[in-house]
Copies of this chain bind each other. A is one copy, B any other.
Amino acid sequence: MALEHAILVSLAEKTASGYDLARRFDASIGHFWKASHQQIYKVLGRMESDKWVEAHLVEQSGRPDKKVYAITGEGRDELLRWSSTPTPIEPTRSEIAVKVRGLPFGDREAVLSDVRTRREAHVAQLAYYEASAAKHYPDPSAIGEDELGAYLVLRAGFMQEQTGIAWCDEILQAFGADER
């Protein structure tokens, strides 16, 4: 129910084609809301019939034509309405936590090696967030109101990766598998 709203936020910031949106959902927005291009095209169609967005065709030379979507007044109304409804807490689903919990019934070495891999992914993602923050917000005290939301979700990502690393370290330490 919320991919629609994630798309609305993205289009409120800047008009985009389905393809553009798919790329945004691979990067910035995608850090906290993933979506495939197939899903995006499907939802965009629904949103167009709901009049939340409107498309106009842009002909291009040398590359395929594209449909550029823009948010409508009704779309903005919907964003405002949605922003003031209470947000349900998403149920957590962590397959690696199930594996850790079930360690006595599993392949210990394989799970620990999985944890090591996960730790590396967290480290890489943390570095990415760090670079992104340094590039876009070199002076955190100078962040304007309009950028604050984007900055804060970057912070969320940053903090989550740190926590992920710390958890992996606890696991590896607990099993005496933290030396490399």
Taken together as a complex, chains A and B put the C-alpha atoms of A69 and B165 apart, in Å, by 37
Does the CB pair B9–A101 fall under 8 Å? Answer: yes
Nearest chain B residue, comparing its CB with the CB of A160: B163
Q: Quick one: given A156-B167, A160-B163, are A106 and B84 in contact (CB under 8 Å)?
A: yes
Does the CB pair B166–A94 fall under 8 Å? Answer: no
Does the CB pair A95–B103 fall under 8 Å? Answer: no
A121 at the interface (CB under 8 A from B): yes
**What is the total number of residues of chain A having a CB less than 8 Å from a CB of chain B?**
64
Does the CB pair B163–A98 fall under 8 Å? Answer: no
A171 nearest CB across to chain B (Å):
6
Does the CB pair A111–B83 fall under 8 Å? Answer: yes
A122-166 interface (Cβ within 8 A of B)? 145-146, 148-150, 152-153, 155-156, 159-160, 162-163, 166
Nearest chain B residue, comparing its CB with the CB of A96: B87
Residues of B within 8 A of A106 (CB): 79-80, 82-84
Does the CB pair A118–B89 fall under 8 Å? Answer: yes
A11 nearest CB across to chain B (Å):
10
Does the CB pair A89–B121 fall under 8 Å? Answer: yes
Does the CB pair A86–B33 fall under 8 Å? Answer: no
Does the CB pair B163–A159 fall under 8 Å? Answer: yes
Residues of B within 8 A of A94 (CB): 32-33, 90, 156
Interface residues of A (CB under 8 A from B): 2, 5-6, 8-9, 12, 29, 31-34, 76, 79-80, 82-84, 86-107, 110-111, 114, 117-118, 121, 145-146, 148-150, 152-153, 155-156, 159-160, 162-163, 166-167, 170-171, 174-175
Q: When A and B form their complex, which 5 residue pairs have the shortest distance between CB atoms, in order from nearest?
A: A83-B106, A34-B91, A84-B110, A9-B102, A32-B97
